[in-house]
Structure 1
Amino acid sequence: MAKAAKSSANQMPDEQKLDVLVAGAGYVGLASAVAIKHARPGLNVAVVDAAPADAWQKDNRSSAIAAAACRMLEQLGLWHEVEPQAQAITEMIITDSRTGDPVRPVFLTFDGEVAPGEPFAHMIANRDLNRALRNRAAELGITILQGVGAEGFEVGGGGMDVQLSDGLRLHTRLLVAADGVRSKLRDLAGIKTVRWNYGQSGIVCTVAHERPHHGRAVEHFFPGGPFAILPLKGNRSSLVWAENTQEAERLIHGDEMVFEAELERRFGLELGEIRVEDKPRAWPLGFMLARSFVAPRLALAGDAAHGIHPIAGQGLNLGLKDVAALAETIVEADRLGQDIGALDVLERYQQWRRFDTAQMGVTTDILTKLFSNDVAPLRTARDFGLGLVERLPRLKNFFVKQAAGLTGTTPRLLKGEPL
């Protein structure tokens, strides 16, 4: 076997056979490699990623990390690096109104703690999370081949031969496909998907504002789609703005003053004057669920397995749940002397994650269709429902725990327990 390309973070030793090869160096791919290697140092784990070496450093987006995911990051030994850059969400409020309404009544509020001193979520810049994961991977001795993608594979001989874009062929017992919503590996495995488009695009940008947010997150439900203001460090917030696709394209590619005017109409005046810090970007919003999360020697994770509407802010956290469940499945199988790439082992991961993911997908689909309209009877019904949740503490507490990732059959890492 030839040596790795110079773009790799580490050099792949000649003739090395891997136990786990992860395709994709986003947060799901890196966290999968780190979680497995952290628990089973004796396993040979490597990561390949087709993106350029500096691509992750150019990602200006931020994400909400639920309390359960924070516990996992702490257990994996990297939360201490992430926390100084993270902004705790101390409160969440939800409104429902039209864009031009002079008053936006608050229908639902959530306190920001799942336990004393533990916020139900933090906001963190994607590049800060990716950097911390890369540093931890280096500490654990995980090879990262950057700028090198997995082009194909062949199953046989108790493992899988994976063909890389630089001509290398690697042998591994298990291939984890964390290569995104347009996963090439998912398609090569012949795994079909269920998908549909919402006719919306998600506009993302970061804004600076005059007054402090005090850790408060706000989600305004407008007829065109939800508009979320998520607190970042300092007097800054991350925006996730769902809008009709045609209107979103007009705003993104049109006059900057028009964009800023429409943004101010939605953002409101509570935090004073605002200023857009980076170039807004938009991507189409839809639903996607893989019909299977596994195939012989292959496991899908993160966006390769599922994609949902950002209305509930659970996209990243669904991916990290995949990480925790897959790592626990693999580690337990290895301790028992089982073949970690065998289909019966991988089926345990699928049974754990696919129903939960489908359930979250259906929930976000219903919420999207219920709230992204201006139909009077639906508006009355949803506002009544929000008000009912506001008046029922136990139900509200359930939703807080749901947002924190602490409901259902929770993998050990998400409970802050070692594997």
Structure 2
Amino acid sequence: MTTAGRPRVVLGVGGGIAAYKACEVLRRLTESGHQVQVLPTTSALNFVGKATFEALSGQPVYTGVFEDVPDVAHVRIGKEADLVVVVPATADLLARAAHGNANDMLTGTLLTARCPVLMIPAMHTEMWEHPATQDNVGLLRSRGVIVTEPASGRLTGKDTGKGRLADPAEIVDLARLLLARPDALPRDMSGKRVVVSAGGTREPLDPVRYLGNRSSGKQGYALARVAAQRGAQVTLVSAHTVALPEPAGVDIVNAGTALELREAMHKAAGEADIIVMAAAVADFRPVSRADHKIKKSDRDPDPVALTRNPDILAELVAARAAGKFRSIIVGFAAETGDETGDVLTHARAKLARKGCDLLVVNAVGEGKAFETEDNAGWLLAADGTERSIALGSKAQMAAGIWDFVLNSGTYPTGPAGVQ
């Protein structure tokens, strides 16, 4: 850390068209209190000029090892860094980093850095899938470098596929996670198939109105994001969210209502090793949906008849008991205390009632859990183990949940959980 307590982040920028997105990463990092030193490659300056990086960072920008020679900058910068983030990590830059080249300021810094290194790839699909690139990625990961899975989507020209740069907000979220917990992204979920639900369901009253809740989907998305970057194959069943970026390397299934989410979860569960029900599913839905907007009138409105939605978590537990799949099942509980008991009293009763392996408990209320950037809570396991989760980012909570699941001793063996 600097004397002012601001984390030192080195932002390396590779020479690809996605270099322009590094500006947004830089802006988000500096505005959230990080001191950022930008080290672009010479090729990167063909896409974004040095003046832009210097203006946004408030720091001089270096490219060659012969700049700032008296200060030996290519050694000093890496040694002093708390985190190195490379955006974008092109195929060429991955190759040079993997083989220890040090012919510019960025690659020299990568050799001297002793902090976490986070490389965010971006390139065409064919380049990402080429055996040379995959070998380089594997070599870097074997040395502890965190090379993330790229997103899928529109590339340069008319091409679409895997190789798109992750969203800048997601990159900054991962950077913050590593600054808080340098060990948060091991590749310990490789080969595991994970299904996560997220967001809040909406139950329509008419073409305009609906019954819903305040869930933003941020915690479920964080769980999916962290699992994917720890090597898991992730399906995210997404109800309504607050315009969150799609996590890179994750397959997304959209589901608006409770019944749609139920269908998607049962369909995905059959191949899953771990199922996480983080979505806030409406307990009730209208018995009927008006096919036109319900108008105001001088008379009192007719009461809205409601019917109970299925308990998806309980159904998944029952399906597992019937032998339909073998998975760890994780539930979520948003609780408040009342005259009959506190948050944990209600949560323990819910865990027993649902029959899942693990329950993540949030105390909800004004400024807590829903629609916030940070989260805290408890982990309750079926074997009686309980653990509190200190307040931190939702990515930190996600990492803690995955740590607990992987080390709980309840990981299944058999058809859907072969180890």
TM-score over 0.5 (shorter chain): no
Q: Normalised by the size of structure 2, how large is the TM-score? A: 0.22
More helix by proportion, 1 or 2?
A: 1
Higher strand share: 1
Q: Which has the higher contact order (CA 8 A, sep 6+)?
A: 1
TM-score of the superposition, structure 1-length normalised?
0.22
